[in-house]
Amino acid sequence: MSDPQIIGGLEGVLVTETRLSKVEGAAGVLTIGGFPLEELAPNATFEEVLHLLWFDRLPTASELEELRAELAGLRTIPEPTTDLLKAAALKKLPTMDALRMGVDTLTLADADPSDVSSEADMIRVKSITARIPTVVATYWRLLHGQDPVPPDPEIRHAANYLYMLQGEKTHTDAVRALETYINSVVDHGMNNSTFTSRVIISTRSDIVSAVVGAIGSLKGPLHGGAPGPALDMVFEIRARADASGKDIQEEADIWAREVVEGGGRIMGFGHRVYTVRDPRADVLGTAAVKLFEGVDDTALYDDATAVEEVVLDVLAELKPDRSIKTNVEFYTALVLHGVGMESDLFSPTFAVGRVGGWTAHILEQIAEARLIRPRAAYSGELDRVWLPIEERGNGGSRGG
Ligand SMILES: CC(C)(COP(=O)(O)OP(=O)(O)OC[C@H]1O[C@@H](n2cnc3c(N)ncnc32)[C@H](O)[C@@H]1OP(=O)(O)O)[C@@H](O)C(=O)NCCC(=O)NCCS
């Protein structure tokens, strides 16, 4: 029997079934837990979305309050986690690395790591989801020479995250924008970090390991690491326009050609599954414009949309065979900048949202109980003959 065909990057390969989200790449439609993204993301609280993903339905008012309070009660991180974050801050590590290291220590918060019951797993799912914002905010403040702000159990997940970062209760528009963002990125089919978490848990490893692996995957610029560079691009083009006196469109055109003709990639554009505009870009674009209008300053939004338009034209001209459109990261950058975050916080904040999807997929994979183990076609040598080291020439072995 001949080997099955290799599908590079597993593009288009179906690996399992999921009830969590449906990504329709050619139509630009994203469904999360049965709801169109456009309906769910701007209306739901993050706790409602978590309930939807973990338990497959929206909560009643009392269930929602119960889940909110339960998560709020799990926010505090173990002292050794804070000590580790202090050591990371001394080395000025990127926040994403500190998050990965911090989450690894959350096994310390586990009452009995050897308990593999579904009840214990559910507590772990909630505990990790509740504590990720605390790890990020604690590290961020330590990195900037500030005392960490303890979580406030009275306020919701998104509001508390901003509060722990900024040290003051934030304007409700900013909280709503952040909540719309984390809802928008909570799940997205079999993306790389989700797949990573499922691969790890499929060996019957533990949930902390699966989430740590997912964070490592999310960090890469081809996955969750793009929004910082996407915003930097807008700022750089703006600075060039200020310096040259040309308009921003003209500078964007020069910049985009330089990058693409030099073989580079423009962050915030292109997607493995979407061949049309990423639907999350629209939801986040709407959230961003509301946010900027609320503070009466739409200059950055206007510049960003001007850059976006030009980049899309340049990509269509220089990569005519590809359909490269705006992806989620471009507007992520605008929303998160608008709520007062610096770019080093963008990917960790992506994790604050995506952990809802990771944990729900982990639960699905545990229920599926099937080891993920694909194959590779061997392309190396065969029939080499072992030679003692003193007899080896350059090749180190004899034979084919
Ligand atoms: C996300 C991404 C990896 C998906 O790409 P993919 O399906 O793997 O497609 P490929 O990497 O095979 O690229 C296909 C072609 O399009 C080009 N391309 C894809 N995205 C591009 C971009 N953002 N800028 C410039 N060229 C791009 C590639 O250079 C390649 O061109 P070639 O065929 O002439 O060599 C890719 O679009 C990308 O790198 N985007 C920028 C990073 C980003 O925004 N990531 C966040 C994703 S949500």
Query: How close is the Cα of 134 to the center of ligand 1, in Å?
Result: 33
Query: Based on the domain organization, do 161 and 212 belong to the same domain?
Result: yes
The answer on 35 and 182 residing in a single domain is yes
Q: Indicate which residues carry an active-site annotation.
A: 271, 329
Burial of 218 (0-12, 13-18, 19+ CB in 10 A): buried
Q: Is residue 129 part of a domain?
A: yes
Residue pair 327/281 in contact (Cβ under 8 Å)? The answer is yes
Does the residue 40 lie in any domain? Answer: yes
- Per residue of the chain (400 residues), what is the pLDDT tens digit? 566 899 999 999 999 999 999 999 999 999 999 999 999 999 999 999 999 999 999 999 999 999 999 999 999 999 999 999 999 999 999 999 999 999 999 999 999 999 999 999 999 999 999 999 999 999 999 999 999 999 999 999 999 999 999 999 887 899 999 999 999 999 999 999 999 999 999 999 999 999 999 999 999 988 887 778 889 999 999 999 999 999 999 999 999 999 999 999 999 999 989 998 899 999 999 999 999 888 878 898 999 999 999 999 999 999 999 999 999 989 999 999 999 999 899 999 999 999 999 999 999 999 999 999 999 999 999 999 999 999 998 766 655 4
CATH of the domain at 331: 1.10.230.10
On whether both 54 and 176 belong to a single domain, the answer is: yes
Q: How far is the CA of 362 from the centre of ligand 1 (A)?
A: 28
Instruction: Report residue 139 as tokens.
Output: 């590290």
Q: Are residues 301 and 238 in the same domain?
A: yes
Pair (125, 242) in one structural domain: no
Kindly report the CATH number assigned to the domain that includes residue 40. Answer: 1.10.580.10
Q: Are residues 62 and 187 in the same domain?
A: yes
Give me the domain span that covers residue 190: 21-225+341-368
Residues 165 and 181 in one domain: yes
Q: Does one domain contain both 87 and 208?
A: yes
Is residue 112 domain-shared with residue 243, that is, in the same domain? Answer: no
Ligand 1 pocket check for 265: Cβ under 6 Å: yes
382 in a domain, yes or no?
no
Give the predicted TM-score (pTM) of the model: 0.91
209 lies in the same domain as 251:
no
372/136 Cα distance (integer angstroms): 31
Give, using CA atoms, the residue closest to atom 34 of ligand 1.
Answer: 319
Q: Are strands 21-24 and 35-36 parallel, antiparallel or unpaired?
A: unpaired
Number of domains in the chain: 2
